[in-house]
Structure 1
Amino acid sequence: MAVAAGAIERAAAPAGDGAVPLGDAEFRFLRDFVYEHCGIALGEHKRQLVQGRLARRLRALRLPDYAAYCALLRDDPHAELGELASAISTNVTSFFREPHHYELLENELLPQWLAHKRRDGDRLRIWSAGCSTGEEPYALAMVLAEALERHGAAAVDAKILATDLSPQALETARNGVYPLDRLGGIGDERRRRWLLRGAGEYEGYACVHPRLRELVTVQPLNLLHDWPMRGPFDAIFCRNVVIYFDQPTKQRLFGRYAALLRAGGHLFLGHSESLHGISDDFELIGRTVYRKRA
């Protein structure tokens, strides 16, 4: 079967078992392509990782070698972009990862925000940028739903936006179905309230409660491209995402985050990430928690 415009012919049998070499020219092309479209900087030390990770894509697409894969990317850069980004990045996430962030939301930020929004009739918006398979936004939704009830703020227009580039991760996030062994960060009371245990073909899985689905909107988004949303957001969670970016890309990204956050809005980063020397738009107020300067 030919790729569009007949650029290359796909192999009749699957390839990419790890023995197919990644040549110098192909690695340079992939390195430049990934940086341009995803902001991910791949050094020479990542060459073996790229070769191993993309071997699965060669098999899936029935391509004979990496030259054919590069030709596919040249022919239609966007069709394969999500799969490529997913293959070369590590989507590690869990429910209530870095629990001090959720504690700050629950005990301090949400009570303050909801008091103001009930009074002013304003909306509340949180963005999970790089949501991966959805554990982060659904954990946020649990905390938010409980706060709305606790503070008598059911009338407040409150939503969580969850975005990612990986098609596979987004599919899992939309489904909201997780193996029971992935629920370790959720306490027993929240498990009983917010998760529906599966039966039959879903034995060993749990599905998030419909109330959480009401609060979470899952959408594809490339952080380097145009953003359709206008904000403003009260908080942005961008945790363990910018570890793949170089300094100029981080500076541009955090500048765009600052533009979408309310004055005094909060930015949450991963445990190994920092804004030191990158952005003056924020002040550090806690462990990997930043507040937008007025």
Structure 2
Amino acid sequence: MNANLKGAAMMVAAMAGFAVEDMLLKSAARDVPVGLILMIFGALGTVWFAALAKSRGDRLLNRDLLHPVVGAKSLAEIVGRLFFVLALALAPLSTVSALLQATPLVVVAGAALFFGERVGWRRWSAIAIGFAGVLIVLRPGVDLGWGSVAALLGMLGFALRDLATRGAPKSLSNMVLGVYGFLALVPAGAIMLAVTGGAGVPPAAALGLIATASVVGTGAYYALTSAMRLGEVAVVTPFRYTRLVFALILAALVFGERPDLLTLLGSAVIVGSGVYTLLRSRRETQTAAAQEI
């Protein structure tokens, strides 16, 4: 098996893991307040990422952690996780997962606006089409609920997190950034719990779901980083969208969801425009590199 096939396989495995993580957290949200889920999930994620970082020889304490971009990343992680878990509690898994697929489109647009990256008219057109797909899924004014709004805000939070990661000091590995991103969820969850109430010892079954989600999510993140190292970005990255396929299957099997035609159509539009944008980004990067030679 060549590097690209290995990378693609790892990416698919990572997306399956993330879909399972979402399903487990949605199941736990039936019995546990969102604030408490964030506290437990953040604490466990901090431990797992710290273990991974130490196994790689990364330093957990670094002066560059005081960089403003690191703080911005932690804040974006809080926004993304908070609204994403809230969306899982309020909206169908299929809808939440469909809206999440727009994250790469927002990242490309944000990279052009904040980092000055060149984005041609073709990619801007694909981004616009992708956002049209988001509107198809959301159906504002027709079927727009708080769960869908939370999913949209969570997606934007994750996109800002990814953009902040690009601007973070290179001395900080993704694993170390993950440690402090998850650590920030603990006080954020505590503040939310203080506002909403519902503090208490969660049922053992729900606690097991959250713990399993943290392990599966950490493993998925490790598979994701491995995939990006093994294969070519242009080959491996489009397999990110298999997460939606796994999410739709789990939504049907576990929660009995049956997405309507507009949700499926909007999902297809988002995924299609996202894949095109990623492939076009790779082509323009290769062209620019060739012109510099």
Q: How would you bin the TM-score normalised by the shorter chain? A: under 0.3
**TM-score, structure 1 as length reference:** 0.24
Q: Higher relative contact order at CA 8 Å, sep ≥6: structure 1 or structure 2?
A: 2
**TM-score, structure 2 as length reference:** 0.25
Q: Which has the higher helix share?
A: 2
Q: Which has the higher strand share?
A: 1
